[in-house]
Structure 1
Amino acid sequence: MKNKDLQIRDPFVFPVQEKQLYYLFGSTDKNIWGEGTGFDLYTSRDLEEWEGPFPAFRPDENFFAKRNFWAPEVHSYKGSFYMLATFRRTDNELLGTAILAADRVEGPYLPHSSGPVTPAEWACLDGTLHVDAVGEPWMVFCHEWTQTGDGEICAMRLNPDLRGAAGEPVRLFSASQAPWTERLASKSTPERAVYVTDGPFLHRDEEGRLLMLWASFSGNRYAQGVAVSPGGGIMGPWVHQPEPLYRENGGHGMLFRTFGGELMLALHAPNRTPEERPLFLPVAEGSGGGLSVRLLREG
């Protein structure tokens, strides 16, 4: 299959050098707003032709969620593979990010944390793993606009075994603090407009700065933005690029390097179901201060 044939949201690419294979994970249910069936993966040697789908995770009858299976990310940590993914809990109907684990990148992934790691009373989504300069693991995630009105990006220290939180969450910034974001009229709350935060992903550039990709809305269209922590610390302060990195109704991006060493941005576009497709764009890191990621071309 080609990219145009893959209906997938929140694409996440895990390159495996020794196999010369790219593993593509993402929200793969045809109706991601409904019942959750699990997560599939696809493999490719060139980011153009894909094989699959192959099952990466399937819940059993005792799993804590039945719908809204979103945004799986796969990270290698201490010799194992961990999938961070969002699910809607059946006990309180709130979204939360849980951690699954596997011995192989392709899975099968099994529950590792006891339900969501994010606070039980919060509506949270899109958790990503960040290991800081001293080797301590963190989850960076969104505290959703459904509770806050102005969506937040938060960070929370994890236990070394990734089974739970080791500290309280800390707000890094709110969506409205970025100069490019705009309020979005919510269908569920038409009496108020909200600011959205989606899909944080962290990347350390060659100068040691910490970059955060995250998505919101600009001009009433889904857009991909970038914030920078110049000192390289997870607590910031975070400086926002003045304009979105990608504004053509696409986002929830992540960065990876090709086997040739090129830095690539993966995102989904357009932001409409069932039309969403994976998009892979080359990017370049900025030098000095100011803008740290520069889009080279679109398609």
Structure 2
Amino acid sequence: MTTRRTLLNMTAALAVSGVSLSAGDSARADDQATLTLPNMPLHDPWIVADKATRTYHLFTSNRERLSGQPGIGVMAYRSRDLKHWTKPHRVFALPQGVWADGGGWAPEVHQWQGRWYLFVTVHNEKMPLPVGASGQANYRRATVLAVADTPEGPFTLVRNGEPVAPKALMTLDGTLYADPAGQPWMVYAHEWIQTGVGTMEALPLNPDLSAKGPPRLLFKGSDSPWAVPQQGQNIVTDGPQLYRTSGGALMMLWSSWGADGYIQTLARSASGDLFGPWEQLPMWLGKGSGHGMLFHTFDGQLMLIVHRPFKNARGYLYEVRDTGPSLELVRQRTDLDFDATPLPPFKP
């Protein structure tokens, strides 16, 4: 076991090298960043680049065999360089007594009004909803919120885990977007299981991130030529993330199922406004790649992380270029993700 003297010596050595440690880092200074992305099972990855500690936090659904901590929830790997990662720690566990008993999907962590908010999708298959357009059984599924003072957590449920969107809607993958006026919105996927053709919708929020009004439609999954119907005419919408380019263009990353599996695709608002109209651009990646998100490294490089394949997934990193009017996928960073069979950007 690492002694207090050893911890102090490690902290001092890091300070000399110019790396500062927060209290949380000091308490876990014996964690060794020995993992690389090929050794890190994950799904729906989300990275926060925390400038205060110069640490990358990679959030994904909690798995007890990896974190060593049980429960439906969220865990996070940590890294200083995007190449070497620590064993994951559970940062959120769904408490007993709330309505949900499963999920922990698509965790996103956003800074809002000085605190860090976790958006995570949970469900309960024993709470049925009326059968929807797909003909499949519907049940309660929704994004809920939890909050912490730092991205390290632990995160505590907000409003006892009540869904942000209306309870009658089967929704998932909520993401936070603040428009140019500072109005917060939750953009989410309305589940194809309920709608048949999945949609992207936006819900206005109050400053405390509770619902302020009814949701509004942004676009349908069938608007994209790259989205292929599954199980009849059903079309999936997954994983939205909004990004404003240097030229003021409003982009949305999102995922669906294509001709060769899960895909990472892109849309752009023709007006620059959240309510579009949205034009569907050529997809970025196929062959099981998807649910990606954009983040900036500490040296300013815009990056994309995706998972693939859909089952038993790992994370893969790509450089992205902000062209002003749009975004371009440049190249896979195999020096960081160690992919022996890299997948180049899709060329239509």
TM-score, length-normalised on structure 2? 0.78
| Structure 1 stretches of 4+ moved >6 Å | none
Q: What is the DSSP-based 3-state SS (H/G/I as helix, E as strand, rest coil) of the residue aligned with 1:19?
A: coil
More helix by share: 2
Say how many residue pairs are matched.
283
Runs of at least 5 residues in structure 2 that lack an aligned partner in the other structure: 1-34, 129-138, 335-348
* Contact 1:87–1:96, Cα closer than 8 Å, also in 2: yes
Q: What is the aligned partner in structure 2 of residue 94 from structure 1?
A: 140
* Contact 2:177–2:186, Cα closer than 8 Å, also in 1: yes
Q: What is the aligned partner in structure 2 of residue 131 from structure 1?
A: 178
Q: What is the aligned partner in structure 1 of residue 15 from structure 2?
A: none
Q: 1:252 aligns with which of 272, 282, 291?
A: 291
Q: 2:246, 2:324 → 1: CA distance?
A: 9
Amino acid at match of 2:253: L
Q: Cα offset for 1:141?
A: 0.2
Q: 1:160, 1:168 → 2: CA distance?
A: 16
Q: Cα offset for 1:30?
A: 7.0
Deviations 1:227-251 (A, max 9, x none): 011332111111110x211112110
* Contact 2:45–2:106, Cα closer than 8 Å, also in 1: yes
* Contact 1:153–1:197, Cα closer than 8 Å, also in 2: yes
Q: 1:36, 1:251 → 2: CA distance?
A: 25
Q: What is the DSSP-based 3-state SS (H/G/I as helix, E as strand, rest coil) of the residue aligned with 1:140?
A: strand
Alignment pair present for 1:208 and 2:248: yes
Amino acid at match of 2:78: T
Q: Cα offset for 1:105?
A: 1.1
Amino acid at match of 1:62: G
Q: What is the DSSP-based 3-state SS (H/G/I as helix, E as strand, rest coil) of the residue aligned with 1:64?
A: coil
| Map 1:71-110 → 2, pairs under 5 A | 71-89=106-124, 91-92=127-128, 93-110=139-156
128-137 vs 87-96, which moves further: 87-96
Q: 2:156, 2:93 → 1: CA distance?
A: 8
Q: 2:71, 2:216 → 1: CA distance?
A: 30
The change in CA–CA distance for 1:101 and 1:286 in structure 2 (over 3 A counts) is same
Q: 2:184, 2:265 → 1: CA distance?
A: 24
Alignment pair present for 1:57 and 2:102: no
Alignment pair present for 1:149 and 2:161: no
250-259 vs 230-239, which moves further: 230-239
Deviations 1:26-47 (A, max 9, x none): 123379xxx9521111100111
Q: Cα offset for 1:179?
A: 1.8
Task: State the identity as a percent.
Answer: 38
Q: Calculate the aligned-residue CA RMSD, in Å.
A: 1.6
Q: 2:106, 2:98 → 1: CA distance?
A: 17
Q: Cα offset for 1:220?
A: 4.0
Alignment pair present for 1:179 and 2:225: yes
Deviations 1:253-282 (A, max 9, x none): 11000011110001111111xx20111111
| Map 1:221-236 → 2, pairs under 5 A | 221-236=261-276
Amino acid at match of 1:46: D
Q: What is the aligned partner in structure 1 of residue 343 from structure 2?
A: none
Q: What is the DSSP-based 3-state SS (H/G/I as helix, E as strand, rest coil) of the residue aligned with 1:96?
A: strand
Larger Rg: 2
Q: What is the DSSP-based 3-state SS (H/G/I as helix, E as strand, rest coil) of the residue aligned with 1:184?
A: coil
Q: What is the aligned partner in structure 1 of residue 314 from structure 2?
A: 277
Q: What is the DSSP-based 3-state SS (H/G/I as helix, E as strand, rest coil) of the residue aligned with 2:143?
A: strand
Q: 1:280, 1:254 → 2: CA distance?
A: 10
Q: What is the aligned partner in structure 2 of residue 237 from structure 1?
A: 277
* Contact 2:197–2:233, Cα closer than 8 Å, also in 1: no
Alignment pair present for 1:2 and 2:41: no
Q: What is the DSSP-based 3-state SS (H/G/I as helix, E as strand, rest coil) of the residue aligned with 1:176?
A: helix
Q: 1:199, 1:94 → 2: CA distance?
A: 18
Q: What is the aligned partner in structure 1 of residue 60 from structure 2?
A: 26
* Contact 2:199–2:217, Cα closer than 8 Å, also in 1: yes
Q: 2:191, 2:163 → 1: CA distance?
A: 15
TM-score, length-normalised on structure 1? 0.90
